[in-house]
A and B are shown apart, each in its own frame.
Chain A
């Protein structure tokens, strides 16, 4: 009895799922399940596109972001990828190299106006393109800066390392805050390389050697990197910042609740902070010697290698790149629109808008993470090294070990397709 009912339900569901359309179906996977604003905007683009022509019909399947990459890798292994996939910028080279993706068929001039961080290049070809970018800034309160007599840094003249430490010392001495600075250690995973490797780059180091992508020696464990590591360790050892055991709720709400004087956070969190903290200011990344740097590249769209109708997939991506849609995404998600003309169409990113500063940050300070298939592993190694250093591990030993591990991985992957 139960079994028969279930079998019936199974059959019914399968029958209903069948397509009834003259248009050729183009599948698309997206990482934003559970994000209402994003879903509505994406659905709007898709239905506009489907109505605008009669060849293709795009259908969307959304996945929760935290597990999206696992779902894609599994589907690729099982030979089950849809035509259009979205991909996190730094991960794209890994998927392109392993043959999951094919280059976009339209020329670079189509996206010449786009922010550099939205363009995904691998092997000299454009594989993915983003409708938006994300940026990180130093959250602070204007009232604090005034009270402590601190200069307001600008993009042209960001804080130096000394100025930053002066600010953190002032915040620490003030006594109103639990910690002077919240780097966001509770956000394990991609946040570490995304948010912290730019600081290392500003010191003059990097995760791998971008000249050859064959080694990390001297780059991740050189003099500049050790100086960075020593500074990084002091943030925790000297009580400026909460360590890896920070609870996730404090990360989400600590700055807004007045537990932290400064926070290193992304533009996606800006809307909630604007509501909670009247005089919040978003400061550019400090300059540790090699210019202020923040991470670039967010989610982007690309075409899977197994796609049978790449021209249909490309048609949708091309359609989605219209300023109108870039602006719509920025309005609903708080992310940075990919073009200046789209930014001008939004309330938040247009001139004088509350988030305008993020567009400039993305334009001026952003640097993409190392463009290599090996990034996925190097990022994990980097994350662990930074957590260990924060917890008091020897800086030089830890960075040396990280270099060894990254190089062993590059070797195990026969150079990840970079020309030796």
Chain B
């Protein structure tokens, strides 16, 4: 009896801690959602008190209606999702392949190349934006419509430069180091090609890191693409969500609409994260690879 009481108490404490911490992290989302339902004047008046987190007063969906009237939100969300999905998919493929090579293969120049890649982590994008703009405006492209020069005002300019990045490669490298090398060597002894080792042995064990990489890269592509599309994409038809945020920052900011817009654009990322969380857990349950 005593021990079961004790267990119940400990479980209670655990949940209490979890809930308290949750409060600390939850409030911006609650503020955002609640504010999106309030008219501007009330929203601003409420910011100084706990009313900011309660859906009280004059509650309506008017801000959502007005937000849709102000900007082609559907278009922006579609663009961002398209760019994000393509970039993240290609990124995971190329970066994991490179990391595989860095960890499991021995080749000339390997260490130096990895050092160079990791050091690019610190180059702030703001500092290379202008040189990069000059480069992509002169790059050739062969697409379905044939050959052309210049990447401005396209989806590809928002995708290709972002595919490979040091963080994702580094993430895979650090993870692969924890995989048992014997598996790889055994497969090689049995005559597997490198591609087979990568695709049949290493990738199936990489569920957690793929999920992590996908989450981090998605955030970057969806949430932080601002300066680059701003200077390379002029047509509204190709604009992503963060550039769309500018539509709401007029001289007198419509805060309610801003909150409505943010709530709308946050939903896809949140859903994506929740789905990945499930996949993440499932893949862990099936591996348990560490020796």
| Chain A residues close to B by CB (< 8 Å) | 2-3, 6-7, 9-11, 13-15, 17, 29, 33-36, 61-67, 70-71, 74-75, 77-80, 247-250, 252-253, 256-257, 266, 268-269, 272, 276
Output the least CB separation between A192 and chain B (Å). 14
Complex contacts, B243 vs chain A, CB 8 Å: 64, 67
Complex contacts, A6 vs chain B, CB 8 Å: 82, 86
Output the least CB separation between A75 and chain B (Å). 7
Inter-chain contact B255/A61, CB cutoff 8 Å:
no
Complex A-B, nearest 4 residue pairs according to Cβ-Cβ distance, in ascending order: A64-B246, A34-B247, A74-B231, A78-B137
| Chain B residues close to A by CB (< 8 Å) | 40-41, 44-45, 47, 69-71, 82, 85-86, 89, 130, 133-134, 137, 143-145, 150, 152, 154-156, 227, 230-232, 234-237, 243, 245-253, 255
Inter-chain contact A269/B237, CB cutoff 8 Å:
no
* A249 contact from B47, B70, B133, Cβ within 8 A: B47
Complex contacts, A14 vs chain B, CB 8 Å: 145
Closest to A14 in B: B145
Known contacts A78-B152, A248-B253, A253-B41; is A62 also within 8 Å of B246 by CB?
no
Inter-chain contact B82/A80, CB cutoff 8 Å:
no
* A34 contact from B145, B230, B248, Cβ within 8 A: B248
Output the least CB separation between A5 and chain B (Å). 10
Please measure, in the bound complex, the distance between the C-alpha atom of A323 and the C-alpha atom of B44, giving whole angstroms. Answer: 38
**Chain B contact surface mostly:** helix
Inter-chain contact B237/A13, CB cutoff 8 Å:
yes
Inter-chain contact B40/A253, CB cutoff 8 Å:
yes
Please measure, in the bound complex, the distance between the C-alpha atom of A256 and the C-alpha atom of B82, giving whole angstroms. Answer: 43
Inter-chain contact A252/B252, CB cutoff 8 Å:
yes
Complex contacts, B69 vs chain A, CB 8 Å: 36
Complex contacts, B230 vs chain A, CB 8 Å: 67, 70-71, 74
Inter-chain contact B133/A77, CB cutoff 8 Å:
yes
19 pairs from A and B in contact (CB 8 Å cutoff): A3-B86, A6-B86, A11-B144, A11-B145, A33-B71, A34-B249, A61-B234, A63-B246, A64-B245, A67-B230, A74-B230, A77-B134, A78-B134, A80-B234, A250-B44, A252-B252, A253-B40, A269-B251, A272-B252
Known contacts A11-B145, A252-B253, A257-B45; is A33 also within 8 Å of B137 by CB?
no
Please measure, in the bound complex, the distance between the C-alpha atom of A276 and the C-alpha atom of B41, giving whole angstroms. Answer: 10
Inter-chain contact B137/A35, CB cutoff 8 Å:
no
User: Counting chain B CB atoms within 10 Å of each CB, which of A34, A61, A70, A250 scores highest?
Assistant: A34
Inter-chain contact B71/A34, CB cutoff 8 Å:
yes
Inter-chain contact B144/A249, CB cutoff 8 Å:
no
Output the least CB separation between A190 and chain B (Å). 11
Inter-chain contact B248/A71, CB cutoff 8 Å:
no
Q: Besides A6-B86, A10-B155, A34-B248, 4 other CB < 8 A contacts?
A: A34-B246, A74-B133, A77-B134, A252-B255
Known contacts A14-B145, A78-B152, A269-B252; is A33 also within 8 Å of B231 by CB?
no
Inter-chain contact A252/B44, CB cutoff 8 Å:
yes
Known contacts A77-B134, A253-B41; is A66 also within 8 Å of B249 by CB?
yes
Output the least CB separation between A139 and chain B (Å). 13
Please measure, in the bound complex, the distance between the C-alpha atom of A58 and the C-alpha atom of B152, giving whole angstroms. Answer: 21
Inter-chain contact B85/A2, CB cutoff 8 Å:
yes
Inter-chain contact B44/A257, CB cutoff 8 Å:
yes
Inter-chain contact B236/A33, CB cutoff 8 Å:
yes
